[in-house]
Every structure is written in C-alpha cells, then in structure tokens.
Structure 1
Amino acid sequence: MNEQEFVTKHRRYLHQHPELSLHEFETTKYIASFLDELGVTYERPLETGLIAYLPGKGDKTIAFRADIDALPIFEENDVDYRSLNDNVMHACGHDGHTTALMLFVRRCKEWSDQGQLPQNVVFIFQPAEETGGGANRLIKANAFENYPIEAVFGIHVMPFVEEGSVAIRDEEITASATEYRFYLNGLSSHVADKEQGHSCGEALQHVLSQVGNIQQYHLNGLKRNIVHMGRFEAGEAINTVPSNGYLEGTIRTYDENDLAIVKEQMLKIADSVKTLFNVECEVDFAEGYPPTYNSPKLRNNVEHALKNAELKVIDKTTPYLFGEDFSFYSQLAPSYFVFVGTKDEAKGYVTGLHTAHLNFNEYMLIKVADYYQQILFNYDEV
C-alpha cells in the first residue's frame, strides 16, 4: 500500500481502539504484529509498550519516540472511525504519533535491507504518557542500557498551529507539572457550641486565600506560572463545625526555581494553620513531569530537517504550560521536541488537545516521517 493508505489504515485502527495509560495491551500487540511482519527486532521492558532497533552503517545511535496511550474522554466526532471504547479516546493525537513512527520504521527497514540505513535507530513506542510517566518507567527499568543513544527526538500534534508549520523552541518548551494536596484535621462540635470546635472551614478559607496569593506576591510577574486550585471541600453536616478539609490542585512552571518557591510557600501555609486555627494541616506533593528541555546543540539538526521536509519553522517565544513526559528523555541524552501543526479550519480541525472533537489530516503523519528521515540522513552533516 502507498504511504497515504498506510497512515490512514493504521491511524484509524488505533483511533478506534484506544486504551488508557498502562493498559495499552492490545495496542502493544498491534505494534508488535506490525514489527513481526517487517522482521524488526524489539523488546518489551514493561508490560505495555516496546522498543525496536535497527542497526545502521554509522556509529551513531539516534532514538525517536511515540506515545501510545489514550484519555478517559467520550468521543463526540461523527466519523466512521470514532472510538469503539466508550469514554476512552485518542484525544491527544497519540494515535497519530504512533502511526508516524510506524511509517518511519517501515522506511528504515527498507533502507536497512538495502544496506543504506545511515545510523543505528531506536524506535520507542512508549506507554503511559498521560498518567504514569511511561518515559521515566522505561528509564528506571534500564530499557536503554544496551543502546548508546546520542540524541532523542519526538513530536506532538498541535491543533492551534497551522497545518504545514511546526513550532520549535530551544531550552524549555513545556512546563513542569506537579500536583499538591492539603489535608486539614480539626475538631468538630455542634453549631450551638461552635467555640469548642476547631474549624477546618475557617482554616481552609485561609489556605485558599494564601495559595491564591502565591503567584501575585512570590513569583516574578514577567514569568508564566500556574498555581491552580482544582477541588476543595470541608465539613460533614449542616449544623456542625467542620472537622476536616481538603484542597487539591496543580502547579505548572517552566523554571525549577519557581517550582521550589511555590512548594516552600505551601509548606509555610500549612505550618501557619496550626498556629492560627489549632487545626492540623499537611501538604503533599506528587512529583509530575519536569519541564521538557530542548538541547540547543540539536537546533541546527531540527531546523534543517524541518525545512528539508518542506515544513515551515515557527519560533515559539514562550513555553507551553502543559506537562509532557518526553521531558525525562533528557536524562538519557540531548533531546528535542517539536509541535507539528494540524489546524485545518476548512475541515473543522481546530479544537484543542484533550477535547472530544480532536481530529486531523493523516497526511501530516507522512510529513512527520519526512522530518524523521531528514534528521536521520543528515545527522552527521549538521
């Protein structure tokens, strides 16, 4: 089949059969079957996902990554390839990322069979990008210890960038993502004797107010940060003093120093609750993904490859404020992550990531493979 037929077939199959993070069992089988048919070797370091490898003529080893998981979203697209799994959807474009890498594997296998593959190539079909930190899990499982990887490249579809354009940025291009949770424990009493209780309602108001002030008073106003309060609650009954309270939210920064400031202020807020309200308060942090850092030393490779693939390069002046676990690959080697535009107003492909209407033209997946090809064949020369 030609390449347009290839990307249409595989992307739409994957789109119809989405699986959540760490449950991508059928997706992994589908990719493995494809690799078996090609005769490409692969490993399964985790229960889901896999890593394939092809040796080339050169002495460099370059890695390319695609994420394979989906989201707990009910699809609202009226298309014949809509999700067959209720409340699960490829609403972040990972079906496209996976298909583009599969096409690139097919090309690389052809070059390998002809003795024309210029470098060693590692293909990472990674599970659990959305939740679970699949990249970090692979690294901790020593999945790459047999591969002297020199650089790692990845892409993400972006519906707010015009089709045919690619947004790039040196250094940080996505933010860190850290969750926080405040737990408050006081003393209940009847409302008629409210002074005998220690109210978590009063204490929670203080926590909400002070967390809301962190951005205003403790962070540089010229920097983009988010300290978001997502859910909070207190109390048990209409006529009792609340004996418990809870707040959860997320912190998004692209400067590790800013993240440290936010966490320090939250710890101080938790300490103040005991003094002011005689209520116990603890704050826990669930470390998420660090900022995705694009190595400036790879900039020329990326820019030349995109232009040679006939894609327009757009310099992004500020990072995106969502998290992305491609960030962990910078622990292995210099890495670079770009956002491939998929916006097509004529077809209505304008809705954002993680929405029930996300869709795009499969033709752009061929352009992604073209970009990977240019990286591979010109890596030594740039």
Structure 2
Amino acid sequence: MLSEKLLDLAFTRAIKHGTLEMITARGKRFTFGNGAEPQVSIRFTDAAAQMALCLHPELKLGELFVDGRLVIEKGNILDLLQLLLQDTHGELDELPLHRLRKIRAWMMRRAENDAIRSKRNVAHHYDLDGRLYALFLDGDRQYSCAYFDHPDASLEEAQMAKKRHIAAKLLVDPGHSVLDIGSGWGGMGLYLAQVAGAGSVKGITLSEEQLEASRKRSATACLQDRVQFELQDYRDTKGSFDRIVSVGMFEHVGVSSYDAYFQASRSLLKADGVMLLHTIGRTGTPYPTNPWITKYIFPGGHLPVLSEMMPAIERAGLVVTDIEILRLHYAYTLKAWRERFMAHREEVLRLYDERFCRMWECYLAMSESAFRWQDAVVFQVQLARRNDAVPLTRDYIAEREAVLKEAEQNMELKRSA
C-alpha cells in the first residue's frame, strides 16, 4: 500500500534513537529506530488514517489520536512525539506541502485577530469550566511559563519566582500605576500591588470567566481600591501608566496586529515608563503555528520570532532595553501541568468527556515537546520610551528579587501568625 511505503520512508528518516513499532490497518508490522528507549507501539485502525497522516502530519497526528484512529498501544503521546522530534532539533523539512501551508497561512493573516475575533478566540480556551484549570495549575492559577531559578523548584515555587523576576525587571516602586494587558486570573496584578507595592493596578482581559475570578480575588484581598480588572481590549484602553506588563497574552495578538499592539503600548506608557513583555516565541525563521493547536486549542494564535516583533516595536518608537530568552523553563512547566492533568484525569472526565481528555493530553504533550525538542522558547522583552529608563547594568534584577523575596516571606509570616 502507498500509505505504508510513505510512512515507512518518513519514520525511517525521522527516528534514529528509541524504538517505534507501527501496526498498519491490515496488521503488517514495521519497526524503526535503534532498539533503545523510549519504546512505543502504535496501531492504525483504518487505511484512510494512514494516508491522512502522510498528507498532513502536523494536523492529522493530533486528530487521529483524539479520534482513536491512531492507537498508542505502548507508551504515550509524549513518547511518540519524542521519537518523532528529538533528532530534528526544531528543523522542519522544506517539503512542497509545508511551503504551500506556509503561503496559505500568510494569506489568511489579514484580519486574523481584530477585536471581535480576539474575544471569540479567548473565550474558546479561557472560558472553560474554572474547575479544569484548578486541577493542574498552581494555586495562583499562573497559566504561563514558570521560572525555575533552582533545579528542585516545585511548580508553586517556580511560578512565584516568575512573578518576582518580572516585577524586578519592571522596577515597580511604591505608588506606581501599572497596566496588566491580559491579566488572566489576576495573580500578577495582585502580586504587583501586595508585594511590589504598586499604587494602582489595572488588569484587562477578554475572558469573562477570568474577569469574574480576578474581581473576586481582589475583593477577598481587600484591594478593590488599588487593583481593578476590566473586560477590555488593549485597543480600547485609555490612560497613562508608569509600568505595563503583559504575560502570556502576546501569543494571541497575531502578526497583522503587532503594529496596533505596540503603538497602543507606547501611547499608554509614560515617558519614563517601563514595559515587560513575556511571550512564547520561536528561535527559527517565521513559520505558521501548528495547525492542530490553532484549530482545536488556540484559534488565532501565533508564536513570533524576534524578526517579526522588532520592526513593529521600532515603528512604534519603543526602545528595547533588555531581552532574556527562557529556553527549557516552559518544558518543565508543561511537564508539571501534564502530570497533574493526568493524575486528575478522572475528574476531568466528569467535567467533560473522553474526547476532551485525549485532546488536552495531546495539547499538553505537543506543547511540552515543542519546548523540549523543537525551537519554542519564551522571550522576556523589556521596553521603554527612553534609553535611560532602566539602570546601566542588570545587577538591579537580582537586588530587587532579593527585596521582593523578603517581602513575600514577611507576608507569609503575617498570614500564618
């Protein structure tokens, strides 16, 4: 069969380390790799599934797994992804179909994330049952890359370290006004007020579920006078802020809206202000985001490379004062999320169904594999309107982190007293 020959060729080229056994729809067995771990066995339930994987692997691998047409009989989806990706080091074969999909993606960008689409895209993922996120995130519901400042850090410690690291780079001082673009469940904004001492924080989100949770948290902490959350698009936000922070939101902006995003940021930032943008990105050349992820998980999403971001930053008149690239931190974060999700799989099943469980297992595994074996990273880009807005050396980051950590400890002592 043609599909068997194509898969034989593809897997032989891709798998050098580890072992893959493939059982075709008609029961024929193939073995690939060098016999080492991980050892994975997959089975196709129908011949059409085999051809579908050959024609569009980036989309169909996830679809076939979720639909139960690609059955993993030994190992799991992450093991399979490791076999397929670990020897490519993020390099994509420039096959004709890849190039055609790339051209199509560029043509569809024009209105990918206007205000209406942005809200609809956010609701698709973030307005799910809040109990789902509570099952695998940390207690603060930080749904972005953690910062593992020491090898044995727990997820909770690493997420606290992320907030501390960002706050230090923002140079937040008592009395500062802060805008949080894409404020999630409110954890970053509350930290900047409670720990860093910001005088006022405005968080904006397009998720109604997150907005409700954030407002409740602000009220519980008796911070409504200093920390406020609004259902608002960044394009509609008014005001002038000492500091702007955006964590895990830029991935949803879309390339066609980069100019609008950075021009809005500049207009909202005071002349001596500082902005910290924390976003997933890629270290390779511009390429469309995985089509399965954009279809089922993050519609409208795009992972930028620096060459896509920088022209828009320059046109907006912003100054890049620092760039830090977090490489494997998100792989460690996603590993913790995936393990927690799988440990609570039966509870997720009661909230949704088996198909949803397989889809989210696939999403978390695909995402982890992108950071572990491909070219996905996290950029922390510090921006200002003036080149003298931040200190001359990076020593201030560690110094401010130490002060913030002491403030965290003092808060914890007060809670336990």
TM-score calculated relative to the size of structure 2: 0.27
The higher radius of gyration belongs to: 1
- Determine which structure has the larger strand proportion and give its number: 1
Q: Select the structure with the greater relative contact order (CA < 8 A; seq sep ≥ 6).
A: 1
